[in-house]
Amino acid sequence: MWSPRDGKTIRKTFPSTAAARHWRRHSQVALHAGSLRAPSQITLHEAAEDWLGAAARGVVRTRSGDAYKPSAIRSYRQGLNKYILPDSANSG
Query: 21-47: per-residue pLDDT in tens?
Result: 998 888 888 888 888 877 778 889 999
21 CB-contact burial (10 Å; exposed 0-12 / middle 13-18 / buried 19+): exposed
Task: Tell me if 39 is assigned to some domain.
Answer: no
The number of domains in the chain is 2
Task: Tell me if 74 is assigned to some domain.
Answer: yes
Res 88 pLDDT > 70: no
Res 89 pLDDT > 50: no
Res 1 pLDDT > 90: no
Task: Tell me if 51 is assigned to some domain.
Answer: yes
Task: Tell me if 65 is assigned to some domain.
Answer: yes
Q: Are the C-beta atoms of 86 and 78 separated by less than 8 Å?
A: no
Stated pTM of the model: 0.55
Confidence of residue 72 (pLDDT cuts 50, 70, 90): very high
Task: Tell me if 92 is assigned to some domain.
Answer: no
Same domain, 20 and 52: no
Same domain, 16 and 48: no
- Domain that includes residue 21, residue range: 2-33
